[in-house]
Amino acid sequence: MRFIGAALGSEAADRKLPAICVGRDGRLSGPLLRDALVAGITSTGTDVIDVGMVPTPVLYFSTVHLDTGSGVEITGSATILPNTTG
């Protein structure tokens, strides 16, 4: 997850975006995944605005309202297989 964050942060820096909004769903793994993602993003010099545990539409709203131009939501898929998400 840290490498994904670094890739996102690098892309944001290339596009001159000062920050990326980060949100997550309510899965127990969310804080751990968020911390790794944020570490990767901030390692590139890009700031993070943590909007917390929010549904994806709220993350989209935050990117516009906070004028970041980008955001990432940590969430799982709707797979029906047990033990395969989050």
Which member of 10, 43, 62, 77 is catalytic? Answer: 77
Q: Which pair of structure tokens corresponds to residue 8?
A: 């996102």
Q: Does residue 70 carry a catalytic annotation?
A: no
C-alpha radius of gyration, the chain, whole number: 13
- By the 10 Å C-beta count (0-12 exposed, 13-18 middle, 19+ buried), 72 is classed as buried
- Residues 76, 78, 79, 82, CA torsion sign: positive
- The set of catalytic residues is 77
